[in-house]
Structure 1
């Protein structure tokens, strides 16, 4: 046993280490999130067939669409706090197997009660996935790099939209009547069961922390640990470390207000996008699927550009608020575009790009104020509030659509919710000495602060 001091790594070596981390972690986490969004949003495409087969009303559809988020919200905080104790691998294994089976079971619903129960259970099964991954990334990635990692992970939302639309449209058209099952039944089966299998793959591939990652060298582990420690020390004074203390910080609730607008408005896109496109006069399911991919193709590029700008300027508030307000504006313009298919597709594209553009910067903000168990519980609380908003929004929109015979007022409601959330966040998290230390540019390059002990 000998002691040896590892020399200071240069920026290229640090960048190379985190690129290695990105290639190891992000693809498998993105796959999980792609499948999650396909399974939570494919009901919007299945709706094109099962509404007539099962004689569901728009109010029934909206309530079931929202119940997913109620189940998600009820179990999100317990799931994320449990993740901090048992690790990401076991948590994601449990989440993905349960939600995959719940999604596939929707193929056999015959009554509104079945739809309600399974959508609630689907949300309960998936609870903790998103905040759990955000918390997991805080144990690997320092704040100065986190927005890009977060946006890269969340590009899975756009990828799911690119894949899900054409895939769902093709399944609906190609499998209807196969082996006595409707196309919408095959849709749930084909898109649900792979999620359960992916959970097993994630369990085998992921490491719970850098310290348990066998694929990291001792020097790479030292670089990651040093970067995390260096930036943790920079922001140590303004962070809450315990969940109980975090609950007394008003910024937590203001971020939750933004979460309500962002999650509710964003969740409405896959839920109602196929209906909006059919409302413009398009009838073919496969064409609707192809057109629904266009907004996500543009949005995935915008998402990464906004995240890079946010990291480069070390600014989060406006990078989150401006795209959200743009999305809100497009929601409100959609009723005027319903008779013009390409105008509707254009607005849906800008709207989707705005929603996804805001995600990277916004979901980096909670970790600016929270760390330790407060980060796990605080992020889950913020997303739980967003989930509650996402429950009420489609329920309200479905009721208004049934009552008025038009989706117009529902589209206005989505826009208003998103705009209000952005304003609340901007007003409540104004820059000051205690809140935005990480928003200011660091002077010089970050370096390892301590010696690394190596066993030889």
Structure 2
């Protein structure tokens, strides 16, 4: 190759290399911090599963009461989800994400005052109100910075916090329950809520000073870098639909996405809120050992999540990989029941189920964010998330009721496997991005 040809090739490659470096800076700037925030949020949401191991006996609460209280969180979440995302768009991500985190940390700490079923229900409901809008707010926030072609990998990295919450939270929660038993004037489960709420409050304060509301507010970017990022984002607008808000609730695409996400949440929360109890039923009595075992499914989830999101971005076949993850999740749930006579084999099933289920989350959000634009994205993301998160109320409660009826969680887990298979069928019916004319005619 002559010198001229090499210079031309170098000049052509340079802008692409510069763009990669720019997005690498964005990733390192926002994603690790948002992962910490998500980890803290999810830990505060599901640590009640470990608290149950002591709280139910101390307060004399039944499995059905626990399932209902664990799930009522999502009713509060549902009520305030869409208004919260609208307020984030109005007040800016920096202030609103900070507000969400501080308020949920305070309410989570207040769980130490649970005395009976009513106080349990009330505090879980208000925890849902406090946290409402965080996840859809972050998803919306990332669309301000990353185009659709890069969002799968970015969301894949961000969503590893969902699994890291189990990796970190399992041993931490188990250790608190084991070593803080009746330390001072509090029970171990009360110490659990106090200790695990503090990171949320601290990160909320940091968010107020660390986050930027938009590209224009980022002083650490040059004028050329801001222009480049806006140009990349503008390419997505041609494929997006700005559905009028009055028609959003009735739009078939919104309900299609909602049904898929509802099924996913039903399986995820039905499993995650009951996993410590399922592991205990396999013959593991010590709470610290239960916490250590819960790290295994989540470590598997991190590996599968990163692999599948990278493959989906490389091939642009996101529907295929969502379907694969859902089928693997269903297979894992089935194996965990069919092999429950063998603790090791059942735990393998739980690992496969958790890995498949959690891998769907970053892949799923690449679908609606690729086709919704304008205020349809602001309200649509929140609407899908809020409606689908009602499954978080139904999942734990259904498992609790079925356990009381049958004396086992097996039938409930098999039901969740069937739900995941149905969700895979719904994913196969999702139209590919770019069918703007069809969407417009439907709206």
- Equivalent residue number for residue 213 of structure 1: 218
Contact 2:298 2:355 in 1 (8 A): yes
Question: Which of 36, 42, 52 lines up with 1:47 in the alignment?
Answer: 52
1:304-343 matches, within 5 Å, as 304-343=306-345
Q: What TM-score results when the alignment is normalised by the length of structure 1?
A: 0.90
Instruction: Identify the match of residue 157 of structure 2 among 152, 159, 183.
Output: 152
In structure 1, the residue matched to 2:75 is 70
**Structure 1 residue 251: Cα displacement:** 1.5
Say if 2:40 is the partner of 1:24: no
Q: 1:434 matched to which residue of 2?
A: 435
Deviations 1:411-448 (A, max 9, x none): 12222222222222322x144861699xxxxxxxxxxx
1:32 and 1:378 map into 2 onto residues whose CA distance is: 23
1:264-413 equivalences under 5 Å are: 264-413=266-415
How far apart, CA to CA, are the structure 1 residues paired with 2:405 and 2:253? 38
Q: Does 1:230 align with 2:232?
A: no
CA shift at 1:120, angstroms? Answer: 0.8
Structure 1 runs of 4+ off > 4 angstroms?
Answer: none
Distance in 2 (alpha carbons) for counterparts of 1:256 and 1:268: 18
Classify the secondary structure of the residue corresponding to 1:119: helix
Moved more, 407-416 or 57-66: 407-416
CA deviation string 1:129-151 (max 9, x = no partner): 11111111111101100011111
Give runs of aligned pairs for residues 129-144 of structure 1, distance below 5 A.
Answer: 129-144=134-149
Matched, 1:106 2:107: no
CA displacement, residues 238-274 of structure 1 (integer Å, 9 cap, x when unaligned): x225433444431211110001011121122321110
Equivalent residue number for residue 255 of structure 1:
257
Q: How many residues align?
A: 427
Q: Distance in 2 between matches of 1:435 and 1:295?
A: 39
| Residue in 2 that maps onto 1:454 | none
Equivalent residue of 1:178, what SS?
coil
Q: Could you tell me how far apart the structure 1 residues matched to 2:304 and 2:98 are?
A: 31
CA gap 1:73/1:226 in 2 versus in 1, 3 angstroms: same
What's the CA shift string for 1:35-86, capped at 9, x where partnerless?
A: 0111111111111111111111110010011111111111111111111111
Which of 52, 58, 65 is the aligned partner of 1:60? 65
Q: Structure 1: give runs of 5+ residues left out of the alignment.
A: 1-6, 438-456
In the alignment, the residues of structure 2 paired with residue 275 and residue 248 of structure 1 have an alpha-carbon distance, to the nearest angstrom, of 40
Task: Give TM-score, length-normalised by structure 2.
Answer: 0.93
SS of corresponding position for 2:273: helix
Query: Do 1:147 and 1:310's aligned partners in 2 also have CA atoms closer than 8 Å?
Result: yes
Indicate which of 193, 213, 222 corresponds to 1:188. 193
CA RMSD of aligned residues (A): 1.8
